[in-house]
Amino acid sequence: MKHIFLFAILLFSILLKSQNTELFVPRNMVKAYSTYTRSYNGAPGDKYWQNKPKYDINLDFNPATAILSGKENIIYKNNSPDTLKNIVFTMLGDIYKKNNYNHDWNLNRALTNDGFVIKKFSVASKEWSIDDKNIRRSGTNMYIKLENPLPPDSKISFDIEWQYEFTLNAVIRAGNYGDSTFMIAYYYPKIAVYDDIDGWDKHNYTGFGEFYGEVADYNVHITVPGDFKVWATGELQNPEQVLSPEYLKRWQEAHIPGKTINIIRKDEVAKRDVTLPDKKLTWYYIAKNVPDFAFGTSNRYRWDAKSIVVDTITGRQTFLCTAYAEDRHYYPRVIDLLDTVLTNYSTKIPGVPYIYPSMKIFNGNAGMEFPMMCNDAEDNKWVGNVGLTYHEVGHSYFPFTVMTNERKYAWMDEGWATFFPNFYIKDHLGKNNKFNYFKSRMQRYYQIAGMDIEVPEMVLVDLLRLRAPYRQASYNKSFLAYYYLYDYLGEDRFLKAFRGYIKRWIGKHPIPYDFFYSMNDLSGENLNWYWQNWFFEFGYGDLALSLQNKNTLVIENIGHLALPVRLKITYNDGHSINMAYNLKIWKNANNKLTIPLKDPEDIKKIELGEDWIIDVNKSNNIIEF
């Protein structure tokens, strides 16, 4: 009996593995399963690992010249099983460097600069010449060949001094907005991710593919002129050393849950007494277990703040801030909107409590996410501000809680940040506002659906050099794929699986197969047919009606995309019946369904589809008798 039992377990594991490997898996990813860093049930493997850097950064920013001077010490821990002969740095700000032509944006060449100007570079306390043959810069990467390779379970330190100029109007996701307002990001030499899939991440930052950062700890001192304020990733450690007593008191009151505190009011923006009277002040922030660090600074901004409870079980709180120009119409409402957004996200969909101690929205001139921060413009309609806030804060979950690689698979984060707002925006609209978020996303999807420039989501971001196919795969089609899966599984089963996937991968780097296999495992259903159809294959939404004979209705899936089917049959006497089929009906249907018709002589009209089911050609969706 014991042998039979062991054989049964072995057979079950083999069957489970074969079930979950029906999808094509690239060679560089197969290795992760054989070395047990990943598992076929979608959870991190027994031997999963991640390296970890720690950054101590001292910055001096001069708004008059827009030059940032920096010194950093990095301690890098090699937790991998590999001996590292090289270290790769991402130098994201080099996207503006002269003669760097690797862009996805129409970059005005007048906005280019010298990129990172390295003043000093030391490895393990030994200073290297900037022109050392073992240092090479290319695109937005810097490659370091180590004199002494770094073995597993050991550390290495780097000390770097540099300068970076934030050219006026160079504002891809961050930058110099003029009028003493700056969103400072992509500003420091940062060690790239080294993972179990590709080794070093060597993807150049070209404008589209955004984040892939290693979880790290940051201690950051930011020195600015005395009248400037700083809002940053993480938690402010020295408020009493930068804020004058009255404003310090307000900052402290804002940490008590219950109400919004206007720390800097509209009539106080120009006052010099908000901060202490020193010519320069240093703001000290700490952030732990985040993949990046950014900050905004201005001497012209209002400041609202409040604290909320994000985890009702533990009582854990998050400190919220909004910083915005004094003439903004909608921004005074954004602090309470941010409260609602994070509360919804923490308790409903996705329903995983926000993990960080703070969240700030800085009113720059973009729509861009950073850990514990957003850089958001003001839209001229309230619904636009609502959508932008939900979207950018949604990135707090992907890629800043679940640290996906959006430089390869942007749909793993942008799709979710587009999916979440669908459940909430209607709650923020007035009675006369007819805006329909879902329909707006459908209209964007329709623009290139089924055309030759539309590609499957599994195509890497680096291969999507045009904006339209990048947006389609990363935002539009992935949003729809998630929504139809949500509809198919039902909210309870979907959320059980989805929340399980999030909790498995908090602070870790899942690949697409970790998502696919987790959803299979936690939903209790092999969904590989769905992943294959929506993520690996070409296809678009287009269903059509026809009659095979008077007694048989044919539904043809012209676009080859698995979609739910809704039929309405209206009879001559005025009554009608509705028929519904979930999208699994296409799993083995060869793109055609036949449905027998009862009493066809009594039928007046048959209609296919509903307004939430994509269909690029609705002219073939009605048959009238």
Report the CATH number that the domain containing residue 530 is assigned in CATH.
Answer: 1.10.390.10
Q: Which residues of 295-305 are buried (b: 16+ CB within 10 A; e: fewer)?
A: bbbbbbbbbbb
The pLDDT of residue 200: 98
Q: Quick one: 576 and 492 in the same domain?
A: no
The pLDDT of residue 166: 97
Q: Quick one: 421 and 410 in the same domain?
A: yes
Cβ count near 329 (within 10 Å): 10
What are the backbone angles phi and psi of residue 114, rounded to the nearest 5°? Answer: -85, 5
Any domain includes 67: yes
CATH code of the domain in which 88 resides: 2.60.40
Any domain includes 352: no
Q: Is the pTM of this model over 0.75?
A: yes
Any domain includes 567: yes
Place of tokens 């923020």: 428
What secondary structure does DSSP assign to 105-132, as a single string?
Answer: S---GGG-B---EEEEEEETTEEE-TT-
Name which of 198, 242, 370 is nearest 294 in CA terms: 370
User: Which of the listed residues 497, 519, 539 is the one where a domain comes to its end?
Assistant: 539
Q: Quick one: 56 and 201 in the same domain?
A: yes
Contact 348, 403 (CB under 8 A): no
Q: Quick one: 452 and 513 in the same domain?
A: yes
Residues 6+ apart with CB under 8 A from 72: 55, 56, 57, 58, 158, 159, 160, 188, 189
Any domain includes 201: yes
> How many domains, the chain?
3
Q: Quick one: 79 and 201 in the same domain?
A: yes
Q: Quick one: 459 and 528 in the same domain?
A: yes
Instruction: For the chain, list residues with pLDDT below 50.
Output: 1-21
User: Which of the listed residues 539, 560, 590 is the one where a domain comes to its end?
Assistant: 539
The rounded mean pLDDT for the chain is 94
Q: Quick one: 87 and 160 in the same domain?
A: yes
Q: Quick one: 488 and 533 in the same domain?
A: yes
Q: Quick one: 39 and 132 in the same domain?
A: no
Q: Quick one: 462 and 505 in the same domain?
A: yes
Residues 6+ apart with CB under 8 A from 243: 251, 274, 275, 276
The pLDDT of residue 12: 36
For residue 456, give its domain range: 1-49+404-539
pLDDT tens digit string along 561-610? 999 999 999 999 999 999 999 999 999 878 999 999 988 899 999 999 99
User: Which of the listed residues 208, 227, 248 is the one where a domain comes to its end?
Assistant: 208
Q: For residues 24 and 32, what is the distance between their CA atoms, to the nearest angstrom? A: 14
Q: Quick one: 66 and 162 in the same domain?
A: yes
pLDDT tens digit string along 177-236? 999 999 999 999 999 999 999 999 999 998 887 889 999 999 999 999 999 999 999 999
The pLDDT of residue 106: 72
The pLDDT of residue 337: 98
Q: For residues 118 and 132, what is the distance between their CA atoms, to the nearest angstrom? A: 12
Any domain includes 241: no
Any domain includes 398: no
Q: Quick one: 81 and 180 in the same domain?
A: yes
CA atoms in the 13 A half-sphere facing the CB of 30: 7
Any domain includes 465: yes
Any domain includes 556: yes
